[in-house]
Amino acid sequence: MRIAQIAPLFEAVPPKLYGGTERVVSFLTEELVAMGHDVTLFASGDSITRAHLEAVWPRALRLDPNIRDTIGPHMLLLERVRQRAQDFDILHFHVDHMAASLFARQSVPTVTTMHGRLDLPELRPVYLGLPMMNLVAISQSQRATFPEGDFIATVPHGLPEHLLMPMPAEQNYVAFLGRISPEKRPDRAIRIARAAGIKLKLAAKVDKADAEYFASEIEPMLGPDAELIGEIDERTKPEFLSAAHALLMPIDWPEPFGLVMIEAAACGTPVIAFNHGSVPEIVEDGVTGFIVDNEAEAVAALARVPTLNRDKIRAEFIRRFSARRMAQDYLNIYESLLIPQTDRLRLVG
Amino acid sequence: MRIAQIAPLFEAVPPKLYGGTERVVSFLTEELVAMGHDVTLFASGDSITRAHLEAVWPRALRLDPNIRDTIGPHMLLLERVRQRAQDFDILHFHVDHMAASLFARQSVPTVTTMHGRLDLPELRPVYLGLPMMNLVAISQSQRATFPEGDFIATVPHGLPEHLLMPMPAEQNYVAFLGRISPEKRPDRAIRIARAAGIKLKLAAKVDKADAEYFASEIEPMLGPDAELIGEIDERTKPEFLSAAHALLMPIDWPEPFGLVMIEAAACGTPVIAFNHGSVPEIVEDGVTGFIVDNEAEAVAALARVPTLNRDKIRAEFIRRFSARRMAQDYLNIYESLLIPQTDRLRLVG
C-alpha cells in the first residue's frame, strides 16, 4: 500500500528529545516499512526513517529559537501533501484539525489520529464544524470525552518489540518517569514510596513552565530516599525500569494515552497507577500492575508487587502494545477506507 | 459587488481594545458598505458592523482566557468561508498564509492583505511554497523586505474621515501614543522632549511582555515633565492629539505601517518620526511633519514645528489616508481580478 504519514514539524521523527506524537509516528512508519509497505513520511528534514522522507522544513521547529511563526511551516506541509496526494492510497495525518478542510475536497482517503486531549471546550465546535476527518482515538477514555466526534476507530499506541527489553537487575527502588508537572503528581509518588519505606528515583525533566512548581512544591520534598536523576534517554530506560520494583503513575488528569506505562511493561516492570484517563485500558489490574484510587491503596499495592510475574507483563506488552499490533490496526483501517463506504467495516475499537 | 472580508478571530471587528488588523478590517468593511457594496464580514460574534456578520466564533479569542488552541477556530473560519465562497465575487483575507492552499483550488478570486512584518526568515519559504495568493502590502517598505513575494499592489491604510477630528486646543506638550516597548523607543521620546524643554505625555499601554522593560528602563525616566497617562481610547484621542505640538515617533524597527502617524495627521498634529519602515511613505517632510535620523535632529525639528500648517496636515490626511481612498484602492484591485488574467491591470502601487 502507498501510505503517506504526515507528522507535525515541532520535533524530528523520531524526536531528538521529548515529543510524544512524533515518537509514535516514527514507530508506526518504521513498522509499516518493515511490513513491506511503500511509506512516505512528511516531516522535518532532521528526521531519520527507512521510509521516503519528504523534508518539508529543514529542521524541527521547537529546536529552532528563531522560529516565531509555527503555523506557516505547517501550511507549507499541507500544501506539499496536497500536491502529492494522488501518489498515495491513503493519507494519515497527525496534525489535529489542520488538514480537514483542504483534504475534504479531494479523492484520496484520509485518517487523522488525535494525539492530544479532546476535552478542551474550544475543540468541540471546531471538530463539529469541520468536514469528515475519519478520526482515530488513542484510547476509549480520550474518545469518551468527545462522544459527538467523527471517530472511526480507537488504536492504542505501540512500541517496537525490541526497543526496550528487560535487563537482569536487582530491584531496589520504585520509579517515576516523565515530566515534573502538577498533573503528573510527583508529590504523590514521593509520599507513597516514603510510606512504603522504599527508595524512589525520579527520572524526569523540569520544563521551564514547571520550574516554579518544581522549586516550591517538589524540590523541598526530595532527599536521599527520593532522588531526582534528571531526564533519561531511550538507551538508559531499560536499565532504569528493569531495576525498579514498580513504576508509579499517580496522575491527576485524563491522560489520553501515557506511553510510559507501556514502556514499563516492555521491561516487565509493574505499573501502579491512579485511575484516570487511559489507565484502566492499559494496566491490567493484578496482571501488569495495580490500579488504585488513593495514596494508601498505592502503598498497599506496592506490598503486593512480588505477586506479579514480570515475564507475563512483558508477554502482555507484546500481545497488546507492540508497534506491529498498532501498525496492523491502522492497516485494517486503511483497507476499510479503500473499499466502498457502504461496505466499510469498523474493524477496530 | 459581493465582497467577503475575512478577519482574524483574535479581536472583535472593531477591537474592544488594541488590535491593528481588526481595526483596519473594520474601517474597510464599513466604508465599502457606505459605498453601496454587499459586504459580508467573517469575524468573531462580538463584532459590530453594518455589513452582514458571519459570526464564526462567539467572541474574540484574545479576551477568552479559556482558549488554548487558537488555530482550531481559524480552521473553522476558513471552512465556513470555503462553504460560502460561491456567494461572493471576491474573497478578501486578512489571515496571513492560512487561506492559501484551501482557496487556490476554487474559482472565486482572492486577495490577501499582509498586516505584519515580512522579514521573519521562516515566512519566506512559506510564501514561496504556497500557491498564488494575490498579496497586498500595506507599505512599499514592507513589500521591499520580501521582493520575491507575489504582490499585486500596495494599499496604505486609511481612517474614516470623521473618526478623529481636530479640536480647538492650546498646544502645551508633545505626545507619545501606543505601546511601551523597546522597538517603539519611549526612552528616546523622553530624552528628546526633555532636551527641547517641552513636557511629554505618554498615552501608552504596557503589555505583560514589556513589563520588565518598562520597570527597568522607562519608569525610572518618568517625572513631572514626562508623564505616563495610560492607554486612551478612540474618544479621547482627538483631544490628546489636538493639544500636542507634535507626535514623537522615534521608532527603532521596520514598522510596516504605523496607524498612529495618520491618527495624528487626522487631528492636524505634526509627526516627528525616525526614518524606519513606512515612515517616509507616510510623513511628508516639511509638510505633515519631520523625518529625522537621531535625537538631536528630533530636538531641532521640534523647534520648527510652528512652521507647519495644521489645516494643511489635516487636508493631506484626507487626500492620502482616508478610509474612502483605501476602499477605492481595494475596489480597483477587486475589479482587476474579475477581468481575465491577461487583461489584468496593476492599478495600485
Q: Average of pLDDT values for B312-316?
A: 98
- Mean model confidence pLDDT for chain A: 94
Residue B17 has pLDDT above 80, yes or no: no
All residues of chain B having their beta carbon less than 8 Å from the beta carbon of residue A45 are: none
What confidence score (pLDDT) does residue B346 get?
A: 52
Gap from A336 CA to chain B (nearest CA, Å): 27
What confidence score (pLDDT) does residue B344 get?
A: 46
pLDDT class of A346 with cuts at 50, 70, 90: low
Q: Average of pLDDT values for B195-218?
A: 95
Tens-digit pLDDT profile for residues A300-316 = 999 999 999 999 999 99
Chain B residues in contact with chain A using a Cβ-Cβ cutoff of 8 Å: 57, 66-69, 71-73, 75-76, 78-80, 82, 96-98, 100-102, 105, 120-123, 125-126, 129-131
Residue B189 has pLDDT above 70, yes or no: yes
- Cβ of B97 within 8 Å of Cβ of A72? The answer is yes
What confidence score (pLDDT) does residue B229 get?
A: 96
Residue A342 has pLDDT above 60, yes or no: no
- Cβ of A72 within 8 Å of Cβ of B126? The answer is yes
All residues of chain B having their beta carbon less than 8 Å from the beta carbon of residue A71 are: 71, 96-98
Gap from B268 CA to chain A (nearest CA, Å): 38
**Cβ neighbours of residue A16 closer than 8 Å, sequence gap 6 or more:** A46, A60, A63
- Cβ of B105 within 8 Å of Cβ of A105? The answer is yes
Residue B56 has pLDDT above 90, yes or no: yes
Chain A with chain B: Cβ pairs closer than 8 A: 86
- Cβ of B130 within 8 Å of Cβ of A80? The answer is no
Bigger pLDDT: A68 or A244? Answer: A244
- Cβ of B101 within 8 Å of Cβ of A80? The answer is no
pLDDT class of B20 with cuts at 50, 70, 90: confident
**Cβ neighbours of residue A280 closer than 8 Å, sequence gap 6 or more:** A141, A291
Lowest-confidence pick of A65-69, A161-165, B7-11, B245-249 = A65-69
**Cβ-based neighbour number of residue A254 at 10 Å:** 18
- Cβ of A78 within 8 Å of Cβ of B66? The answer is no
Best of A76, A82, A132 to disrupt the B interface by mutation (most B CBs within 10 Å)?
A76
All residues of chain B having their beta carbon less than 8 Å from the beta carbon of residue A79 are: 100-101, 129-131
- Cβ of B79 within 8 Å of Cβ of A122? The answer is no
What confidence score (pLDDT) does residue A172 get?
A: 94
For chain A, what is the radius of gyration of the CA atoms? Answer: 21
Q: Average of pLDDT values for A115-124?
A: 87
Best of B66, B76, B80, B107 to disrupt the A interface by mutation (most A CBs within 10 Å)?
B76
Give the CA dihedral B306, B312, B314, B315, nearest 10 degrees.
-170
- Cβ of B75 within 8 Å of Cβ of A82? The answer is no
Residue A348 has pLDDT above 80, yes or no: no
- Cβ of A73 within 8 Å of Cβ of B97? The answer is no
- Output the pTM of the full model: 0.90
Q: Average of pLDDT values for B293-319?
A: 97
Q: Average of pLDDT values for A223-232?
A: 95
Residue A344 has pLDDT above 50, yes or no: no
All residues of chain A having their beta carbon less than 8 Å from the beta carbon of residue B68 are: 120, 122
Residue A119 has pLDDT above 90, yes or no: no
Handedness of CA A329, A335, A337, A343 (dihedral sign): negative
Tens-digit pLDDT profile for residues A314-328 = 999 999 999 999 999
What confidence score (pLDDT) does residue B146 get?
A: 92
Q: With contact defined as beta carbons under 8 Å apart, do B184 and B251 qualify?
A: yes
d(CA B280, CA B283): 5
- Cβ of A122 within 8 Å of Cβ of B66? The answer is yes
Tens-digit pLDDT profile for residues A143-164 = 999 998 999 999 999 999 999 9
**Alpha helix segments (H runs only) across A153-309:** 186-196, 211-213, 237-242, 259-266, 279-282, 295-303
Cis preceding linkage at B14, omega within 30 = yes
Tens-digit pLDDT profile for residues A79-97 = 999 999 999 999 999 999 9
Which chain B residue shows the shortest CA-CA distance from A70?
B122
DSSP code, position B223: B
- Cβ of A69 within 8 Å of Cβ of B122? The answer is yes
pLDDT class of A65 with cuts at 50, 70, 90: confident
Q: Average of pLDDT values for A205-232?
A: 94
User: Three cell numbers at A32?
Assistant: 509499516
User: What separation in angstroms does the CA of B249 have from each of B7, B189, B246?
Assistant: 28, 8, 10
- Cβ of B72 within 8 Å of Cβ of A105? The answer is no
Residue B5 dihedral angles phi and psi, to the nearest 5°: -105, 125
